[in-house]
A and B are shown apart, each in its own frame.
Chain A
């Protein structure tokens, strides 16, 4: 009986397991920090600008700790049922269907709530009972209190600069988490990441990073966000497939980042100055 359950759970989690090591280049001691937090199953908040490697880091840690990873991309219309689960109908009657959070709690996966501020504040309070010493998830519709699996851990990501002034986490939610801050890596490390991920050689990667620094200079001076590492990798991928570096940067970096013609013009000139 027990074995049967285990198999069923393994089946359910099969797709959530990470088979091979996702590339992650540590910048500081974030790996050690996460491992320490995981040791006591402390909920973790990953803070940082878009495209700097938060999601990749969670994948890497899930692989490293050998836990399945269940990712939920939060959005405004998400309800508590979307997280916890609901009764559905089939021919014989109603069937309870675990939501992603419940699945993770039951089976001891890492549950990753991406861009949690996008969800409504009243939705996110369902995680409160999971993120203090109770570690339980009440399923009121089933009249069940689900005790979290010993390996269950909750991770959320949160981009402080990006969300609108109206969206923010409740204080009571924020204070349940340990936070690890991410930012764009140092020049040499970022070049290494861009080279590895996109397959361009080191010199090209360094040029791309130099370009990114130019664009990051404009944050707050007409750009909402600087160019992310992800953008650089995209530009590198285009360049590896035979697109000229200037054009690759225009396509992957300048055009996506701004609609303002003057800003575009200035960025293009800055890109040209770096190549």
Chain B
């Protein structure tokens, strides 16, 4: 009773005059609306405080908002709202509070299922990115999910990595994705090679997400270091990378955990950290400027294990640091007297210090221990836990985190193997009947236009053996149109794509040919008629061009086209046969490949003809064997074909894509996503010096083809006859 009296007294102070009865009415309405007792109670408890912070009127009005949220988003959200309203009002003041409330109502309408999660995290989010950041972030979350409730939930629960990434962006933090491309060459420069760098997965345990780590040669870095602003975070990432690189170089063997106590494990790790850093700094003295500023332990700190450990780290790293603690002084002395290249010194000193720690009665709590300073790794990779996990459990706890999911590690060895695979191999895959399944040959990134970033290693390209069928059909298609074949040959023959050559003694041109001029002057003096051919000019005279023809064989290519007698695939076959015959007659290097896709893990790539292979019956049989199926993940196929083409040694390299529509795949709903990715892939190729050109076959998606390839580099044709109109346009582009 006394409690309720106090509450009503507080309420009377908060709601003066007329507003008090209004507030009472609001409370009763909430209590009677059937949202449950907790919702009404939360309002009654928080609204007087809000009245004082913002205004009594706003506090009364909040009841309406609570009621609306209860109806749309449920009781949990409605119960959270009044309480969080107070926190927000404290942080943002009246104006900010009202804008925030509008945001909440908006989310209640558009993403009601996620509102409770958003409300729950509101105070942290606001400190991190402010109100405007929160508005933007919420909008992105709703837009990215494209109406999919589960995706929205993942986003607002921060389980979706892109949610975290967008938070980092909004808060101006530097995250792993910003640093990756800089850290790799940094490590390569320092030590000659860089281990693969990976972002710690979002579902890893808390402690693993806070510290870097490495295992099996793969370095795992946190997606961000919360609380460090841009420049500091850059510094931290670099220090973390350099520290792990020092381990990879100088930590030769794993320490067996054996019967060590958790404190000893932590100390041995700490000494080993100091040892490898000292060795690294002997070679690269400037690393001291990277490591030392991150040590912030002070000699005045309390004598607890974590504080002592941090001070010890600093004492061993920084010679100018003074610390009166005898334990630390002893450690320093022992460390200084040892030969640094002896890895066992870490174990010796660590054991010793661990025993002393026990005698000093300093408690060590392995559960809550996090390695300091923040750039150091979790040390998991320094230890060999043996087979008996139960014995090692304590020790493992010290090492602050569970092991990362195995698949992270398994991914790598497979990949190097594929990359080493010689080019010619893939075309011969069909000799091995066991490999009718696709062979994964490469992983490519994919560009996400929403975030403006590339997701590394997102798509897996698998090469499948091309099936052969009776070549008769293709040969017939080709022979049907010998007139067309001749015209195509003539067109290609007349195209001049090569380095410009300097022609001398021309009757007109862009510069004077000095030798011809002298001859002419001599001729005039001796009274002979001078030759008027005294000019020179640059001209392309030959054709030095490699072409890769990339055919889209997705499901839609089984549609009928043009005069409704052939399918798109038929026309593709015919065009491929015509072009191939023309180019092989002219000895131009060219290759043919086809692709389709079944989600991002299975982009199927068929080699029909390699550059070195002659155009023969086998190639025609493979062309005939192509079948329509699956989707069109164009970007990955373009990247893969481009990588092949980029190895060709010719003046110009052309990727000729024949497709019937815009890229799509069943795991992607956003139509624009794959278009933008393909566009990015094409741009990437042009940086490698590979030209791309797209022939749309009766495509309804001309707009997106032009978007991907550029207006001048895409053309839409309905029948193969128009191939002859397309070729001059193509070679004109290339000639430039």
Contacts and interface: CB of A to CB of B under 8 A. Distances in A.
Contacts of A23: none
B287 A273 contact: yes
A217 B78 CA distance: 60
B673 interface: no
Interface string A150-171: 0000000000000001100000
Interface string B176-212: 0000011111101111111000000000000000000
Interface string A17-56: 0000000000000000000000000000000000000000
Nearest to A89: B521
B515 interface: yes
Given A165-B649, A217-B189, A273 B284 contact: yes
B249 to A, nearest CB: 13
Interface string A240-273: 0000000000000000000000110111011111
A185 to B, nearest CB: 18
A262 B182 contact: yes
A130 interface: no
In this complex, which of A210, A266, A271 has the most chain B Cβ atoms within 10 angstroms of its Cβ?
A266
Contacts of B522: 87, 89, 94
A266 B186 CA distance: 4
B185 A266 contact: yes
Given A86-B515, A165-B649, A210-B284, A265 B502 contact: no
A215 B189 contact: yes
Interface string A210-222: 1000110110011
Nearest to A93: B525
A4 B242 CA distance: 71
A214 B188 CA distance: 8
Nearest to B647: A165
Nearest to A261: B182
Contacts of B189: 214-215, 217-218, 266-267, 269-270
B290 interface: yes
A88 interface: yes
B238 A77 contact: no
Interface string B9-37: 00000000000000000000000000000
Nearest to B181: A262
A214 B286 CA distance: 13
A136 B542 CA distance: 34
A198 interface: no
Contact of A275 (B188, B286, B499): B286
In this complex, which of B184, B189, B651 has the most chain A Cβ atoms within 10 angstroms of its Cβ?
B189
Contacts of A272: 286, 289-290
A227 to B, nearest CB: 10
Contacts of B285: 274-275
B586 interface: no
A273 B499 contact: no
A81 interface: yes
Contacts of A271: 286
A77 B286 contact: no
Contacts of A214: 189-190
Interface in B398-455: none
Interface in B147-199: 181-186, 188-194
A89 B518 contact: yes
The size class of the interface chain A forms with chain B is: 20 to 34
A221 B184 CA distance: 9
A22 B289 CA distance: 40
B281 to A, nearest CB: 9
Contacts of A267: 185, 189
Given A217-B189, A263-B185, A266-B182, A88 B286 contact: no
A262 B521 contact: no
Nearest to B525: A93
Contacts of B289: 272
A244 to B, nearest CB: 13
Contacts of A94: 518, 522
Contacts of A270: 186, 189-190
Contacts of A215: 189
B333 to A, nearest CB: 29
In this complex, which of B191, B238, B290 has the most chain A Cβ atoms within 10 angstroms of its Cβ?
B238
Interface in A73-114: 77, 79, 81, 86-89, 93-94
Interface in B281-299: 283-287, 289-290
Given A269-B238, A270-B190, A81 B183 contact: no
Contact of A217 (B182, B191, B284, B525): B191
Nearest to B513: A79
Nearest to A270: B189
Contacts of A275: 285-286
A47 to B, nearest CB: 21
A210 B289 CA distance: 17
Given A77-B502, A166-B649, A218 B518 contact: no
Contact of B286 (A222, A262, A266, A274): A274
A198 B22 CA distance: 87
Nearest to A258: B185
B183 A266 contact: yes
Nearest to B648: A165
A85 to B, nearest CB: 11
A210 B280 CA distance: 13
Nearest to B651: A166
A117 B182 CA distance: 35
Nearest to B180: A262
In this complex, which of B184, B186, B190, B649 has the most chain A Cβ atoms within 10 angstroms of its Cβ?
B186
A221 B187 CA distance: 11
Nearest to B287: A273
Contacts of B185: 218, 221-222, 262-263, 266-267
Nearest to A267: B189
Contact of B290 (A88, A93, A265, A273): A273
A214 B283 CA distance: 11
A79 to B, nearest CB: 8
B182 A265 contact: yes
A273 B518 contact: no
A271 B287 CA distance: 10
Contacts of B283: 210
Contact of A166 (B191, B499, B521): B499
A210 B189 CA distance: 11
B238 to A, nearest CB: 6
Contacts of A166: 499, 649, 651
Interface of B: 181-186, 188-194, 238, 242, 283-287, 289-290, 499, 502, 515, 518, 521-522, 525, 649, 651
- In the A-B complex, the 3 residue pairs with the closest CB atoms: A266-B185, A270-B189, A266-B186
26 contacts: A86-B515, A87-B518, A89-B522, A93-B525, A94-B522, A165-B649, A210-B283, A218-B189, A221-B184, A221-B188, A222-B185, A222-B188, A263-B185, A265-B182, A266-B183, A266-B186, A269-B238, A270-B186, A272-B290, A273-B190, A273-B284, A273-B287, A274-B284, A274-B285, A275-B285, A275-B286
Given A222-B188, A271-B286, A275-B285, 8 more contacts: A89-B522, A93-B525, A165-B649, A214-B189, A218-B185, A266-B184, A272-B286, A273-B242
